[in-house]
Structure 1
């Protein structure tokens, strides 16, 4: 009987220094599992402007089971993972980054767990790489706190996209047609009960630097909350009610002081404070509404998720 096929989807953006080292480690895993499963590698070049694509094409001569999906521009990590999923044909799919901070050695345990009957294998980071600053770790805690409080879909902390999904879960996720997506949240949206959890320590980057600066991380945080919840809109309503309540108390307090304690006020500071307070509340509410309207605007266009071309090995 033909062995089952494992597809490994790898998202790469400007990882020219990591590609060869990555496949050296992946080949060791493939050699250890060659009696159990076959492998295919779906490498998604996310519009890299270095030699990532050229290095991948050079590797095709050594690894005939590599195929490349070359995106015409940088569509972002979430879309790159979706593109890889669309072109993976395995009985299960493993998602990983190409920066070697998702250790390839863990794939052997993931595949063994899948062969043992676990349709979903998740991973959890028990440490972070040394390239993560204290500020990054602090902001990460705030991000997951806000996500937990505001999102209807619970996305656990330190669970990266490094995971294995059986084909049945892949087909479920592929039915989700939304353009603005957070990939790791989609599985939680579909739901799963039977899974295996593996923990790992994040190694230091072999080459290059992280692509997630503060701006991109902040944008991901906003998208993550709004994709799975309308609670921010309800929060805007609460802020409006709170501001009315606070204004009423302040007005009543001012009236009592004027009528019973003869406290005279110029009104300048009071007026300024009230205007600034109400203006800030209105801007926050308008910003929240604007974010949702912007997402609706993009979704109703029904544009394709990505544009690119498949490069297969014909040797």
Structure 2
């Protein structure tokens, strides 16, 4: 059994071929798609966060709106670049959005990926400490954020406050109990997956990772997941961790599917350089359901994960993306034992 959700990068473009021609279009359609996905029986609505790009950025207004419009589906990110974040303000935003959604937030964080501008986090007022990298800074912001989510008091109260304080040190409000256990780390390498386990975060592994062995992408990703779970057990955490993988998967069930994605399933993994790192990019899957089922049976990382996020082509509109999700839930997931 797997939790199956969608992951939207939230692109928009003025192109006549795009169903999302503005930021408003993307935001409103993201809410509508989450509602439709919940009605179809999907388990999660996840959104990517990018800065300085015509894509979804500030996540918490959207997450709160989705939470107010839905009742069951998990609401998450994949991922928030922690190099850009003030963990104190973020803890307040996250607590508010989680309370509005009734405790359904699943926040994916990361140290970040290549962005649209050089050192974009500097424009947000952040800089690494002396001797540290921007990745170190992102992980440090995440560590502070995790500590704040525990809900423990740390701030000395004013002896003459405007409003009466509870006894003891004060914490940030609003606090949402349980959110700390629903934080994920987007890891692109084995070492950071182990670090995420040690920190008690769930694991998100996407469609690319550092090419550390030269093996096929799904084999390397499966090994990464196993390393993560071993590190989790050694850390002695009391709960069972969750692991998600992202995939572009399209069941071709009609002529429109074939026109859009009929050639996408013919390729394999790709290798490239990203952030001065040799990375392997996982293949896309697109085929008629019977063939697609057989292809997916051989994906070792999907087999290892408990959560699958389907990357959706959001610029094709809500109706078509709901069809993409429904096709997987109906024609593929039951045959693979995911449902």
The one of the two structures with greater contact order (alpha-carbon pairs below 8 A, sep at least 6) is: 1
What interval of TM-score do these two structures reach, taking the shorter chain for normalisation?
under 0.3
Larger Rg: 1
TM-score by length of 2: 0.23
Larger helix proportion, structure 1 or 2? 1
